[in-house]
Structure formats: C-alpha cells, structure tokens
C-alpha cells in the first residue's frame, strides 16, 4: 500500500518526523566492559561539555532524576534491563550509556559527546561464556511465559531399548553473536505537553513500550502516547523499549523542548540487542534401520548482567522428529556484554543449525539418504505437548521439494560433483516455526463520504502489513481494495501485540477480519431495514447483491445513510487469542546448491528451493519476498555474520550478504488453510524462511568438499583446511 511512498522518498520514518522547536541528543558510552566511572571525571567532563557550542544540557548519573524499577513480570519474561539507566556509576558492559548531551544541532551534540573523556576504575570482566563460574550460571524453566515452552525437558526412559545395533552421533556446534542491523537506525523523538508525553520511536511494540516507559517514569499509561509511523526493518531489535528512549524522554522534560536522538550505526551494536552466542552439544542415537531412539540437545548461551534472556536453541529438538527419549536443557551464563534479545528465528535459527547438521551427519553414518532419514522419523503428533498438529504437510514438502530441486540426481559421496574447477554440493534441512496468535483489537471508522478506515496499534515494518490487512478488510467487508485503508503505528489505536514471532497476520488479521464481518453485517441490516428483507443479501466488489443480483452500490447506501449510518459503522472489534486444542506449527524444507572454490576458500550459494507449509497465503508476492529475505538472512548467518570483539569492544566490520550472494530462487507453498489457529487460516511466514538455512548450506558444503564444519560463519580458513 505504501510502496510508492517508500521508493519515492515520501514515506515518513521516525527520524523524518518534523516537530517544532526540536533539539538534538547524542550518547556517551562506556569504554570498558566492567568497573566504574569516577565521579570526579563525570563532573569535570559534564562541565566541559556544557560549555561547548550549542549545548543545552548534559544528563549524567550525577543529575539524572530518579527512575522507577520495572515490575518483575516484565524483567522475568522479556529482556528489559533491571537497572534503570544512569542509576549509578557502575559499568556492566562496554557501550553502556554513561551520559546524554543535548544541543541545538546534531553536530554540536555529537561533538560535545565525543569530547567527553571519562576516567574508569576497571574490574575483571567475563567476556566469554567459559569464563563464567558454574555458580553464576542458571537454568531457566521457561522461555517466555506467554508461550509456555519448556527450556528444561526430559521424556522417555534413561535406557535405550533396541533390537538392532545402535548408531550414535555426538557433535558440538557453535554460533556467534549476531547483530540485527536493519537499514533504519533506531531513532526517538520525545516531547512533553504538560504532564503528557508523546514519543515517536522506531518500535514494533507500541503497547509494550507505552507500559514500560510509563513504569520507568512513574506516570499513568494514559498520559503516554507512542507513535511509530513506519519501521525500516527490525528483525527483533525494535521489539522492546531500550534505555536510550527513556533518557530521551527524561532529557526532553529537563530542557523543556522536544529532543531527538538517532543512534549511530556503531551504537546499534550495543544499544538495541543482538543474538547471543551459543554452544550446543547434541547427541542422536538411531538403530541400524534409521529410527531415532534418543535425542539430547544441551545449550549454553549468554545474557548480560542486567537482564534475563535465553536463546532457546533446543526447542525444535523437543518436537521436530519422533524420538522415544528426549532430553533438552538450557544454561545461561551472564557475561559483561550488552543485553541480548530476540532475533529473527529465535531458538530455531541457531538450534536448527545444530539439529539439522547432526541429522545430516547421522544419515551419512547410517548410509541413508538425508531426506529419507527425515521422512522415516517424521513426528505424527506433537511429542512435547502430546497434542495433534492443527495441520502438518511436511511429508508433502519433502516430496515436492525434492522433486522440484532434482534431489534424486544427487550422488551420495562428497566431492563427486564439479562445475569446471569448482566443487559442487547439494544440501537440505527441515524448516519449522510455531504458528502463534495473541489478542488484538481493530477500530473501524466510516466517513460520510464513504471512506472506510481500519486501524490497530500494530506496525508496518517493511513486510507489507498494511497491504495484507487491507486485503483482509476488503475480503471481509466485500469492498474493493481501493475502498479501504489500514492505519498503524499509534498507541491511540486499539491494542495489538508486538510485531514479532510471525504472529501479526494471525493476531491482527483476526481482529481486522472480525471487524470487517461485523461492518458488513451492520450495513446489510441497514439495507434490509430499508427494503424490508435481508434474505440472500451479500456484498461483493462494493455492490450489495440479492441472490447474486446487484441491488445498490455500497457508496450509494453510505451516501443515503449519512451521518447516522456512518456512526453505526464506526466501532471497535477485538479478537481474543484463545487456547487451541491442537499444536499449530509451520513446516517446510530447504534445498540448496553451493559451489566451492578450494583454491581461495570461497563458498557461493547458487540455487535455492524452498517448499513450505504455512497455512493460507494471503499475498503470494509478499510471501515469496518474506521467504527470500529469510533465506538471505540465513546465508549471512552461514557464511558472513559475526560480531567482532576486542576486550568486549566492537571493532572492524560486520559482513552481511549482498546482491552478489543471492542465489536463484524457487519458492513453493503447500497451501492448506489452518483454521484451528485463526479464522483466516494463516500461519506466520517471517521466521520460517531463515530457519534451517545455515544447516542446509553447511550440509551442502560437506557434500561438495567432504569437510564437516560445525560452526558458523563458515570462513575462508575453514574451507582451506583439510577434509574432516
């Protein structure tokens, strides 16, 4: 819907919002991973910065107004920091906010902030998980209580019973720290009108940010308005309120003017979350016939000293394959690193790298084709919950995907395929991601001129939410797509969940659908009251039909009904999330081809085929785009992405996939609507596209080279090494 505005530059993002009297802020961040900043240096540098050109205020731990702590339900369930910003002089990680400079221009604010040279008293820091003593590590029970997925689980007998020889596999798999790095930098504009605060922010959880900001500031939620016009990508980094937003609001109140803060690209590393490192020990045991008998998946991951977050890498092992014995565990080590958070495919992306690599390794040990091995162990029910699937067509994905890719032509032995001087390999991996839905609201406003606008406090993050919701509204009302509009990004609209976990279409779409159906019923009741009967009435393409024959246009009905009808057709609908009796899960399979130049240690993904079971597809073009974006995300994970460190400080470059790294795509959906989850039959697509991708590439590299690599990114040095 907003595509033309985006490509012509007319689209308004947070940093583009024009507020009269605006001044600008810049952050000062710690340069050490642990210790404390000296009070004297804070006072000295604040005085110097205050005297710099254009500076209006310097906010430090010495003058920051007291802020309120968050309730435990927020800090236990989401990665909000327990320590309020600028609460004291302690330093817990490099990049922690130490001061905020406000000036008349962004240049003056930046210059003054960069000129502040604080003195530190350093303390020993834990920068890697291995340094964290066992006594400081912990094992959380659940990932997110809203989801209720166990992080520690054990099913089946301790002893493995088998009638044939056992074939075990054990491997340790490593994933690095990943940065979200969306195109749009995080930005905030805070302005006060008396005791009322308006915050324009790059957020994808308006309702949550409003609550958390009100908690920090100790004020009623109804005095806080959060506006998020458009979000230029997020991948998890904008799901939460981060500390710079609070400081921006405090600074705006202090100086009595609207304050704008735009993070730098470097500050995005430390200030808006990341995917934490994982070390995963995985043991699979099968019998000689290729039947899995035992699955153990143990994950060590990290969080910051100030917040709880656990990367749930072991969750797919609980349900993806049939296994009489399943043991999963997660251990969290607090390191002196910035706070991590959800990132596209949390749990599934790193977890499936380990699980699907291990499945490939065990298939080779058994002498069974990797696809056939997965087919034999497909779980016909949800083992973790003991419930049936709402709809599962993974076997169909395997069959159709293998056929489309040409998998039957694949030689079993590695190093058997070449393209000139290049080694060629084919790999595959299963993809999966939960189908989720939460409660959401949607308002409908009908104007006398016939304009029908739907609105919800959800977000357009670049994935086409406004377009898809417009389609749902048009279908439910019977109006043409050009006759409806969908508004997002304002906390004044009915509440909606965060735009993450691939749940927006199912959650908000259900509310839009309910509102559209009610709108249609109200209008038809009005028409039947006019003409004396409602039997056989319907609306299609903006025309009221009786028994399929045109009666009157909706535009004419709205014109004749005037303000009275417009008021009748203006209301709010809510769709509750509910608890389905089945397990809603999306599935699929990725096949890929890689070419490896061993002379220079370079791997290139040349061809990709994905076949996915995600329920009803509302917009095929946007769905294909979501999957392509997810696969490219996974290519970056497999071959390029890792945050560099030097004593806890970010340095160097963060490499991502570019246009030159994009393969030829073949994407197909096994389209079977899933009405157990929602009335429109959809399951989310945003995350499943990246789940399993890194494993498929690693498996293809093994097939090409004979080198089994158990960590990502797969670098030049690894490809130049000897075969495993």
Active-site residues, by number, are 687
Q: How far are the Cα atoms of 231, 371, 598, 664, 718 from residue 707, in angstroms, in the given order?
A: 41, 20, 11, 24, 9
Q: Closest by alpha carbon to 689, among 638, 639, 623?
A: 623
DSSP E strand stretches across 259-378: 259-262, 278-287, 292-303, 325-334
- Of 193, 687, 598, 663, the C-alpha closest to 418 is 598
Q: How far apart are CA 432 and CA 435, in angstroms?
A: 10
72's CB contacts (< 8 A; 6+ apart) are: none
- Whose CA is closest to 213, among 168, 185, 253? 253
CB proximity list for 554: less than 8 A, separation 6 or greater: 450, 478, 479, 483, 523, 539, 542, 543, 544
What's the longest Cα–Cα distance across the chain?
Answer: 84
d(CA 125, CA 132): 9
Q: Is 218 left (phi over 0), alpha (psi -120 to 50) or beta?
A: left
Is there a contact between 624 and 667 (Cβ–Cβ < 8 Å)?
yes
CA 132 – CA 147 distance, rounded (Å): 29
Tokens, residue 540: 């299609």
Residue 713: asked if its preceding bond is cis (omega within 30°), the reply is yes
Backbone angles phi, psi at 212, to 5 degrees: -65, -40
* Beta strand 196-201 pairing with 224-227: parallel
- CA 16, CA 320: separation in Å to the nearest integer? 45
Buried b (16+ CB within 10 A) or exposed e, 57-77: bbbbbeebeebeebeeebbee
């Amino acid at each position: 819907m907003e595509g033309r505005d985006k490509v012509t530059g007319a689209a308004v993002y947070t940093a583009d919002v024009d507020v009269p009297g605006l001044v600008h802020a810049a952050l000062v961040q710690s340069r050490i991973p642990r210790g404390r900043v000296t009070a004297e240096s804070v006072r000295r540098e604040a005085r110097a910065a205050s005297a710099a050109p254009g500076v209006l205020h310097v906010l430090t731990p010495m003058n920051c107004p007291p802020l309120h702590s968050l309730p435990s339900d927020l800090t236990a369930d989401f990665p909000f920091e327990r320590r309020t910003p600028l609460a004291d002089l302690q330093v817990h990680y490099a990049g922690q906010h130490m001061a905020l400079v406000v000036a008349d221009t962004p240049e003056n604010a930046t210059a003054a902030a960069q000129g502040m040279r604080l003195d530190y008293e350093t303390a020993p820091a834990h920068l890697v998980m291995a340094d964290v003593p066992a006594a400081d590590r912990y094992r959380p029970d659940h990932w997110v209580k809203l989801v209720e997925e166990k992080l520690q689980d054990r099913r089946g007998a301790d002893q493995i019973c088998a009638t044939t020889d056992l074939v075990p596999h054990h491997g340790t798999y490593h994933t690095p720290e990943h940065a979200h790095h969306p195109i749009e930098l995080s930005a905030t504009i805070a302005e006060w009108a008396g005791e009322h605060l308006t915050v324009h922010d790059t957020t994808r959880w308006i309702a949550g940010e409003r609550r958390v900001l009100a908690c920090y500031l100790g004020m009623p939620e109804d005095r806080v308005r959060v506006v998020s016009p458009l979000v230029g990508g997020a991948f998890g980094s904008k799901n939460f309120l981060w500390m710079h937003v609070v400081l921006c609001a405090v600074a705006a109140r202090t100086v009595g003017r609207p304050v704008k803060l735009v993070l730098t690209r470097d500050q995005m590393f430390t200030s808006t979350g990341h995917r934490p490192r994982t070390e995963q020990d995985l043991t699979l045991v099968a019998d000689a016939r290729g039947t899995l008998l035992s699955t153990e998946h143990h994950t060590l991951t990290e969080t910051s000293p100030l917040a709880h977050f656990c990367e749930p890498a072991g969750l797919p092992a609980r349900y993806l394959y049939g296994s009489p014995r399943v043991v999963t565990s997660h251990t969290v080590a607090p390191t002196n690193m910035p706070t991590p958070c959800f990132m596209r495919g949390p749990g599934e992306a790193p977890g499936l790298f380990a699980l699907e690599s291990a499945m490939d390794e065990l298939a080779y040990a058994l002498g069974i084709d990797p696809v056939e091995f997965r087919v034999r162990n497909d779980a016909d029910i949800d083992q973790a919950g003991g419930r049936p699937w709402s709809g599962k067509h993974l076997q169909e994905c395997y069959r159709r995907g293998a056929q489309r890719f040409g998998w039957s032509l694949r030689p079993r032995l590695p190093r058997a395929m070449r393209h000139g001087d290049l080694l060629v390999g084919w790999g595959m991996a299963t993809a999966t991601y939960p189908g989720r839905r939460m409660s959401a609201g949607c308002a409908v406003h009908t104007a006398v001129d016939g304009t029908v606008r739907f609105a919800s406090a959800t977000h357009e993050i670049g994935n086409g939410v406004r377009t898809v919701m417009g389609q749902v509204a048009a279908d439910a009302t019977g109006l043409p797509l050009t006759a409806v509009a969908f508004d997002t990004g304002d906390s004044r609209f009915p509440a909606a969940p965060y735009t993450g976990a691939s749940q927006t279409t199912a959650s908000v779409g259900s509310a839009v659908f309910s509102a559209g159906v009610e709108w249609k019923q109200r209008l038809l009741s009005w028409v039947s009251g006019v003409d004396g009967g409602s039997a056989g009435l319907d609306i299609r393409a903006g025309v009221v039909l009786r028994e399929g024959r045109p009666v009157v246009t909706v535009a004419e009905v709205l014109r004749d009904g005037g303000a009275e009808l417009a008021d009748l057709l203006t209301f709010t609908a809510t769709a509750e999330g509910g608890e389905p009796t089945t397990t809603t899960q999306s599935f699929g399979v990725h096949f890929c081809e890689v070419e490896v130049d061993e002379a220079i240690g370079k791997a290139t993904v040349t061809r990709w085929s994905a076949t996915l079971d995600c329920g009803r597809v509302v917009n095929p073009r946007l769905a294909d785009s979501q999957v392509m974006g997810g696969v490219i995300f996974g290519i970056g994970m497999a071959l390029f992405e890792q945050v560099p460190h030097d004593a806890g400080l970010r340095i160097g470059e963060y490499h991502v996939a570019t246009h030159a790294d994009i393969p030829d795509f073949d994407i197909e959906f096994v389209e079977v609507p899933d009405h157990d989850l929602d009335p429109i039959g959809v399951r989310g697509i945003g995350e499943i596209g990246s789940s399993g991708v890194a494993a498929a590439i690693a498996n293809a590299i093994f097939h090409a080279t004979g080198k089994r690599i158990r960590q990502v990114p797969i670098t030049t040095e690894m490809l130049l090494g000897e075969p495993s």
